């Protein structure tokens, strides 16, 4: 566990992530992180779990109508 200090950034508050954490998350300047409240506290991830669920629905739809898409692509 690593302690993070909350700091003033303009009119907002922010946390500076140490290099070890950004390396572990595979993120760099300009990337987006997603924070989710969980029973264990706050979870931070570079992956948007809501988007992943939407992509899974889209993939299932495409698999179901694969033959239709093949005909339409001609």
Domain spans of the chain, in order of start: 6-73
**pLDDT, block means (10 residues), the chain with 74 residues:** 90 93 92 90 84 82 88 86
* pLDDT value of residue 57: 85
Spatial neighbors of 21 by CB under 8 A, at least 6 apart, are 2
* pLDDT value of residue 45: 87
Q: Show the tokens assigned to 72.
A: 């339409």
* pLDDT value of residue 27: 94
Predicted structure pTM score: 0.58
Residue 45's DSSP bridge partners are 34
Torsion of the alpha carbons at 18, 33, 44 and 56, rounded to the nearest 10: -140
Spatial neighbors of 17 by CB under 8 A, at least 6 apart, are 4, 25
Angle at CA of residue 52, ends 72 and 26, nearest 5°? 120
């Amino acid at each position: 566990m690593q302690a993070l200090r909350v700091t003033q950034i303009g009119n907002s508050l922010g946390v500076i992530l140490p290099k070890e954490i950004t390396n572990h998350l595979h993120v760099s300047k300009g990337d987006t992180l997603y924070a989710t409240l969980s029973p264990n506290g706050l979870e931070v991830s570079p992956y948007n779990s809501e988007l992943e669920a939407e992509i899974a629905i889209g993939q299932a739809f495409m698999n179901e109508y694969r033959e239709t898409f093949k005909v339409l692509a001609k």
